[in-house]
Chain A
């Protein structure tokens, strides 16, 4: 997977997530950073030291692998102590730091087991402890939670968050799960086809995706082709589609009068009579999802929209939706 133009400065103690669909180049980026893949161009600096010419063992990074990559012939304790043993740390010091790490990831009951005797979540804890016990300058995590089931994934997410808070380790985290990235990271890097799409805080990326790809990836399910009328001004741009008229407060760069793509999050469409754009439509399907309903509606001209609402609607029922004009995001039609 080719990767181009990734320029990023990571602050001390920062948690950065590389986010994107599979095949977007995020794992390539991480492996280049770790030194496991050669860099064909560009450079990597750690503080003022250039490190991209160094082999992985001299970069002083800790890495957590997707399938954990625990050493099957070593016990939990030996796995965690491996890096310290290699660095020729004194035996008593290894003992102390490994024990501390084992306690930190709450595995003291399993310290002398082999990896094959542990559950997926426990193996993941070992992998994390092994990476952080060497007190690396940077911890790299390659989709560390993707092999766990949903419940465990949530637990480990909090665990990683806690460890990061307690130890303050600079972390680069690769994931394809936007929810995971949003909840963990201080800063997100959204990648697509080997290109950086957007870099920003989770709030920024979530609320203001810079293009329709990021919008789609961040859960803006309603992507509608519309016409932007000429002559609008900030706070008041008019959009038209057959049977649908919307006003948007802002345009994203590159949008010009003519064909545009409009993105609206399901969560930003309301049934209540709030101010803003109004859309009349018919309910097509209703899915119960526990805390709320996922509803699919259709306008008279056949434009399908998705929304979430706590109110129970009936299929076939007519309803009126509203959306605030600052939550109608307008992108140029060209980018996908």
Chain B
């Protein structure tokens, strides 16, 4: 009796912890957490610290940032990155939606399409860049076909400029966007559309008023992840773009700081800038998303 009273009155750490789900089982988290702490959190903090300690000590703590933003060429890398990453992510997401809508039910050949789409995703940007550099060349199959078909008289210049990078990111990013959108759309209870159809909605109205609004939160995530992929366009920018000109993106600038100047401090500063801009966009999208309905898409209690 008395022991019950004491435990009710005084603060008992052990039982408080137990009530909040803290027990020995949580030790299972320790290895993963330590790994992240040592190889992700600490390096990130260390890199940020390093970025405020430029190689030339006399330029002050903000020296790297001042020289980055003070230099038009460097500053333009931000614009170059956005100019590639934004349209690519938007195109990928919006191209994925109609295809995912078409393939959301059992359709013959769905698994084949999915499987084929996984291939460019798994081959990765380096191989796609290598293939594109021959395929899109002035004497490559792409231009040759267009010339033979009489669509163009001059080979299109698709390499060592903006377009090469964009095309490579469409090839690797679209499958990712599609598969993710498909998995979101499959999570929407098909009864929703059936209900809408019994209420008189045509297939376009069902998409417009039911499927699309329920899909939007998922599309926001799909956009973000595609944006992350497109934001680090390093191999394609170097191999297919013009890394000294309009493909001088943030990732290239950071890598050049290391490879050309061994300036880890400057490279870290560019990483911080890249991360900050990228997270700002992701945060903006996520804030916009949180204003949408983002609960269950299964509907009802089930």
Could you list which residues of chain A lie within 8 angstroms of chain B, going by C-beta atoms?
34-36, 55-63, 65, 67-73, 82-83, 86-87, 114-116, 120, 123, 130-131, 134, 140, 147
Contact = CB atoms under 8 A, between A and B. Distances in A.
B192 A123 contact: no
A71 B198 contact: no
Nearest to A63: B198
Contacts of B196: 71, 82, 86
B197 A56 contact: yes
Contacts of B296: 72, 116
Interface stretch (B63-71, B205-213, B241-249): B205-213
Is the contact region of chain A dominated by helix, strand, or loop, or is it mixed? mixed
Contacts of B302: 67, 147
A86 B195 CA distance: 13
Nearest to B217: A73
B194 A65 contact: yes
20 contacts: A34-B198, A56-B198, A57-B197, A57-B198, A63-B195, A63-B198, A65-B194, A65-B300, A68-B300, A68-B301, A69-B191, A71-B214, A71-B299, A72-B214, A73-B295, A82-B199, A82-B209, A86-B209, A130-B195, A131-B199
A60 B210 CA distance: 19
B219 to A, nearest CB: 14
A8 B293 CA distance: 43
Q: Which 4 pairs across A and B sit closest by C-beta, in order of nearness?
A: A83-B199, A73-B293, A69-B191, A69-B195
Interface of B: 189, 191-192, 194-202, 205, 209-210, 213-214, 292-293, 295-302
A72 B297 contact: yes
Given A82-B209, A114-B293, A115-B299, A36 B194 contact: yes
A76 to B, nearest CB: 14
Given A72-B214, A73-B293, A67 B198 contact: no
Contacts of B295: 72-73, 114, 116
Given A70-B299, A72-B295, A123-B300, A57 B195 contact: no
A293 B299 CA distance: 42
Given A65-B194, A82-B209, A116-B295, A70 B300 contact: yes
Contacts of A60: 200
B300 A36 contact: no
B199 A123 contact: no
Contacts of A58: 200
Contacts of A82: 196, 199, 201, 209
A115 B198 CA distance: 19
B297 A71 contact: no
Nearest to B202: A57
Given A63-B198, A82-B209, A140-B198, 11 more contacts: A35-B197, A35-B198, A57-B197, A65-B194, A65-B195, A67-B191, A69-B189, A69-B192, A69-B300, A83-B200, A147-B300
A87 B214 contact: no
Contacts of A116: 295-296
Nearest to B298: A72
A62 B196 CA distance: 10
A83 B197 CA distance: 9
B299 A69 contact: yes
Contacts of B199: 57, 62, 82-83, 86, 130-131, 134
Nearest to A120: B301
Contacts of B301: 67-68, 120, 123, 147
Given A73-B214, A73-B293, A86-B205, A68 B198 contact: no
A61 B198 CA distance: 6
B266 to A, nearest CB: 47
Given A55-B197, A56-B194, A73-B214, A67 B300 contact: yes
Most buried by B among A62, A65, A73, A86: A73
Contacts of A34: 194, 198
A71 B194 contact: no
B33 to A, nearest CB: 33
A57 B201 contact: yes
Nearest to A148: B301
Contacts of B195: 63, 65, 69-71, 130
Given A70-B300, A82-B209, A115-B299, A65 B191 contact: yes
Contacts of A130: 195, 199
Given A71-B210, A86-B205, A62 B198 contact: yes
B217 to A, nearest CB: 9
Contacts of B297: 72
B300 A134 contact: no
Contacts of A67: 189, 191, 299-302
A332 B292 CA distance: 63
Nearest to B216: A73
Contacts of A87: 200
A257 B76 CA distance: 100
A91 to B, nearest CB: 16
Nearest to A119: B301
Given A69-B192, A71-B210, A134 B299 contact: no
Nearest to B214: A73
A82 B214 CA distance: 15
B193 to A, nearest CB: 9
A240 B179 CA distance: 69
Contacts of A72: 214, 293, 295-299
A123 B295 CA distance: 16
A143 B199 CA distance: 18
A146 to B, nearest CB: 11
Nearest to B197: A56
